[in-house]
Amino acid sequence: MGLALRTWIIAVALAVTLPAIGRAQIQEEPAHPRARAPLTILQVNDVYSTVPVDGVGGLARVASIKKQLTAAGRNTLLMIGGDFLSSSVASTVFKGEQMIEALNATGLDVATLGNHEFDFGVDLLNTRMRQAKWDWVIANIIDRRTNALVGGAHPYVIRRVGGLRVGIIGLCLIEESMRSPTVRDRLELVDPLDAAAKYLPQMKNEGVDVTVALTHLNFATDRALAERFPDIDVIVGGHEHYPITAVEGRTLISKAGSEARYVARIDVDKRPGTPIDRFYELIPVNSGIKEDPDAAEVINRWESKLSSAMDVAVGTTRVPLDARDLRLRTSEVNVGNLVADAMRRTAQADVAIVNSGGIRGNREYRPGPLTRRVLTELSPFSNVVCKIEVTGAQLQAALNFGVSRLPAASGQFPQVSGMTFRVVVAAPVDNRVRDLKINGAPVDPSKTYTLALPDFVLHGGDGYEMFANAKVLIAPEDGALIATAVENAVSGRDVEPRVEGRIVIER
């Protein structure tokens, strides 16, 4: 890989790492070259649940990993690459306070902000940031009221670890999901590469041996960051919900997936006159790792606070509900139909669109009772059903935008109700939607239709800016919560949502 860089991938495949983890201890190998590395970075990102999901993950297990490595003599820095205050069932109830206490107990050292840290508004975010015991690094989000970085964060911090001076700069995305009015009006969103150009030289002038960028950016922007600033040794990233390990130039880029299903371990060794060594391991966080009792006590206390009403069944599904991100954000799925139908019915609209990124859970729910907990997991953002007037041409343009990133998965991908259409992926992005029909009739470009949509989309979320001047029939302050609309749709019923051919993808 060249004289300036050496990266060693120790274990990525589960078959390699599971045997060691299965013994409930993080095994150290004294003869391995990483044993002499003075710095061990531990990474999680996009963690929405404090407890295991389907038996995997859990912050008490992450705490155990850190404590075991520290006891083994490693100098650890636990970092999180954003997106943890929201969204989840508990965050809907506690507005992220349970995540702050859980991560305090886990021993988090450094965090940057993700787009979902802003879901409850800037003032509440400032409160949560003050409650944290770790360092916040965010170089590119400025609060207009204070003319300082949001929440009093640092653009970067320098930690002395194992004899190394480790500089850590924080950067957050400024894309569609950060453009709601409450964020846009209150905060100045600086291009992350411009912020890096400002602060990286300052950090290096203070003298650092290792340069780390702790980011919540999409992978393409992380790669652009590494290309423009090749002195960055490691990018500890977030935003994507699947593990990514890559080398761009001389920079190692790591993303650890989501929900703490894995902890990325990056051991760093830098000695005068020698190339930097980075040893990488992706540690599965499973039942073989015992929970740290101190962290578990905090987490369980918050779990017990959730109202018992969350576990009351309000309806039943006869079929599995597919809320897996990869399918939800690339194709019609039955849970998307369920949510879109509930929105259209609630607003009494001709059609409905919901951005797939607004439907969460990232799993397949088994047939059986539908509790408020499940319904809140599916729609955790407190989004509201709105209703507007659009022309057939505007609707077609919105759908073309919604499918424009195919075949890539994207939160802007539309789940729909009251309409059917084909998508020709090979066609130009502004002309992919064909044979659009509304309630069985071909769309009339000049005709006016009523559209139900989330307030997030109405305000330009996920890039849906084409509705800015639409006539609003049901405003956000008058609409019902999407979670309430779905609960009303299933309440006292046995539902059986199906994939019906509303969206046909031609690749």
pLDDT digits (tens, 9 = 90+) for 322-343: 999 999 999 999 999 999 999 9
What span, in angstroms and rounded, lies between the C-alpha atoms of 352 and 340? 6
Please report which residue ranges of 22-164 form alpha helices under DSSP H. 59-71, 89-94, 97-106, 122-131
DSSP 53: B
**Residue 382, pLDDT score:** 76
- Give the pTM: 0.74
pLDDT tens-digit series, residues 42-55? 999 999 999 998 89
**Residue 355, pLDDT score:** 97
pLDDT tens-digit series, residues 225-244? 999 999 999 999 999 888 99
Strands 419-424 and 503-506: parallel
Strands 313-317 and 494-495: parallel
**Residue 54, pLDDT score:** 86
Q: Do 251 and 230 contact (CB within 8 A), yes or no?
A: yes
Q: Which domains does the chain have, with CATH numbers?
A: 5-28+35-304 (3.60.21.10), 307-506 (3.90.780.10)
Residue 169 pLDDT exceeds 80: yes
Q: Do 462 and 357 contact (CB within 8 A), yes or no?
A: yes
**Residue 13, pLDDT score:** 35
pLDDT tens-digit series, residues 448-500? 999 999 999 999 999 999 998 999 998 887 788 898 899 999 999 999 999 99
Edge-to-edge strand list for the sheet holding 414-417: 414-417, 351-355, 448-454, 385-391, 471-474
What span, in angstroms and rounded, lies between the C-alpha atoms of 419 and 398? 13
- Counting residues of the chain whose pLDDT is more than 70, the rounded percentage is 93
The better pLDDT of the pair 247, 87 is held by 247
The pair of three-digit structure tokens given for residue 339, joined into one six-digit string: 């949510």
CA distances 192 to 37, 166, 196, 238, Å, are: 30, 20, 6, 14
By C-alpha distance, which of 147, 104, 153, 144 is closest to 126? 153
| Kind and range of the H or E run holding 276 | strand 276-284
Q: Residues in the chain, how many?
A: 507
pLDDT tens-digit series, residues 210-230? 999 999 999 999 999 999 999
**Residue 12, pLDDT score:** 43
Residue 205 pLDDT exceeds 50: yes
Residue 17 pLDDT exceeds 50: no
By C-alpha distance, which of 487, 141, 139 is closest to 313? 487
Is-cis flag, bond preceding 19, omega within 30? no
DSSP 481: B
Which residues make beta-bridge pairs with 353? 416
The pair of three-digit structure tokens given for residue 29, joined into one six-digit string: 């190998």
Please report where in the chains the tokens 């911090």 appear, as a residue: 157
Q: Is 271 helix (H, G, I), strand (E, B) or coil?
A: coil
Q: Is 426 helix (H, G, I), strand (E, B) or coil?
A: coil
Most confident of 11-20, 288-297, 366-375: 288-297
Q: Is 72 helix (H, G, I), strand (E, B) or coil?
A: coil
Which residues make beta-bridge pairs with 262? 284
pLDDT tens-digit series, residues 424-456? 999 999 999 999 999 999 999 999 999 999 999
Q: Which residues contact 121 (CB under 8 A, 6 or more apart)?
A: 182
Q: How confident is the model at residue 9 (pLDDT cuts 50, 70, 90)?
A: low
Average pLDDT for the chain: 91
**Least confident interval from 89-98, 108-117, 271-280, 397-406:** 89-98
pLDDT tens-digit series, residues 99-123? 999 999 999 999 999 988 988 889 9
pLDDT tens-digit series, residues 358-394? 999 999 999 999 998 899 889 988 788 999 999 999 9
Q: HSE on the CB side for 361, CA within 13 Å? A: 22
What span, in angstroms and rounded, lies between the C-alpha atoms of 111 and 300? 23
The torsion region of residue 501 among left (phi > 0), alpha (psi -120 to 50) and beta comes to: left
3-state helix, strand, coil in the chain (%, to 5): 35, 30, 35
